[in-house]
Amino acid sequence: MQLKRPDIHMIAIAIPVILMLHVMFSTRTEGQTGSVTDVHDPCIIGFEDQYYIYCTGDKIQIRRSRDLILWEYLGKVFNSIPAWGIQEVPGVSNVWAPDISYFNGIYHLYYALSTFGSNRSCIGLATNATLDPGDADYHWVDQGKVFESYSGDNYNAIDANIVRSTDGKIWMSFGSFWSGIKMVELDSTTGKPVNSDLYHLAGRGGGAIEAPFIIYKDGYYYLFISFDLCCRGVNSTYNIRVGRSETVTGPYVDSWNMLMTSGGGTLLLSGNSRWKGPGHCAVLSEGAQYWLVYHVYDVQRNGRPVLRINNLIWDDSGWPVVQDTLYTEVTEKHVQPSLFYLYPNYPNPFNQDSVIHYQLPAAGHVKMTVFDVLGRVIDILVNERQEGGVHGIRFQGADCSSGIYFIELRFGECIAKRKMILMK
């Protein structure tokens, strides 16, 4: 499926070249605009030259954008809760947590029917030949129940996500609380399970874990999940974690090599003073470009859920990193790195580890050192010859005490410094 879309890059702009690049880039620091409030549990897909987001709301809300920035509300998928779901799940009042995918020539929208805090839940499926509401062939057809869980089960059948493995098989991960995240294989024709075999992907011993999303990149399947609590406005503690595996069914481990079935998960994104409880993410990938799509609770909107989209880049070890400042490219598609630049570490403040990215104008010897406030060397993160371009390194602060630290980056006669704050 060919899609016409802008590329999005993280670019360092310095005074010597700012006039040259001024027309090419517009900053996007405040995020998305238009119909972006009351977006919860978003999933995303490209269709023709536009993007579509489906989310929890009034029977699955639909939004559309041409540039990932300005979004318009298009209505909803269902006019009423499917009749079979009302019979199967007593007390159900809404349709939850959609996931959109395309296979076998049609679009598949998976959704959840449940009541808050219960694991008597069902995952359903609706299909469509097109995503454009203006198309004569546009019509959602409900295909009924796909998978279910009962009060006696140790899993919860909500928060479905579809991934195609490298051998062409279709898989559905799902789960919330209880024993954690599960997976079943689907028939590519029916979109429903081929058998009852369950695979266990991640868990926290009954603790808060949910909303899986899996992508494949460079030999690994990456499992994104949400830890802790959503749906509490400014008091939400949701945060996004990630692990990876060489096989789609696991085992998944985090960057510390801890099994995700034993509570592992590298922190990717947590809340800050403005945006609380980021979570239930999707990942949009187009070639080498990746975006993290998620909801967050906005303090300035009294805790209402809001759509956010951030650029994802990948460090030298193959782990994803969120870039919190985005640039939308307008004309040129490729701008070669030509600057020496030390990006702010992320997250900052941090309580365990933080990722530092830097840009080199050419090949040469680079040294990165971490100092404490007394000027003592805490760690030498890099001390080697590297190629020009953007590089990343993870600072592991587990053995350090809370406080202020300084990053110093040296490249030839160039020196850059940043402050980072460790809070335990």
Q: Is the separation of the CB atoms in 340 and 361 below 8 Å?
A: yes
In whole angstroms, what is the distance from residue 11 CA to residue 373 CA? 30
In Å, how far are 60, 62, 96 from 77, measured between CA atoms?
Answer: 6, 7, 12
Contacts of 236 by beta carbon, 8 Å cutoff, 6+ apart: 229, 230, 271, 276, 277, 279, 297, 303
In whole angstroms, what is the distance from residue 418 CA to residue 356 CA? 10
| 379 catalytic per annotation | no
Q: Is the separation of the CB atoms in 137 and 155 below 8 Å?
A: no
Q: What is the rounded radius of gyration, in angstroms, for the C-alpha atoms of the chain?
A: 22
Q: Exposed, middle or buried: residue 27 (CB in 10 Å: 0-12, 13-18, 19+)?
A: exposed
Which residue from 217, 195, 416, 412 is spatially nearest to 320, judged by alpha carbons? 217
Q: Is the separation of the CB atoms in 182 and 200 below 8 Å?
A: yes
DSSP string for 35-98: S-BT-EEEEEEEETTEEEEEEESSSSEEEEESSSSEEEEEEES-SS--HHHHHHSTT--S-EEE
How many other CB atoms sit within 10 Å of the CB of residue 197?
A: 10
In the block, residue with structure tokens 């802790």: 228
SS3 at position 260: helix
Please identify which of the residues 210, 228, 298, 324 carries the catalytic annotation: 210
Specify which residues 393 forms β-bridges with. Answer: 356
In whole angstroms, what is the distance from residue 277 CA to residue 184 CA? 29
Token pair for 323 = 């870039």
| 41 catalytic per annotation | yes
SS3 at position 19: helix
Q: Is the separation of the CB atoms in 226 and 281 below 8 Å?
A: yes
Catalytic residue set: 41, 210
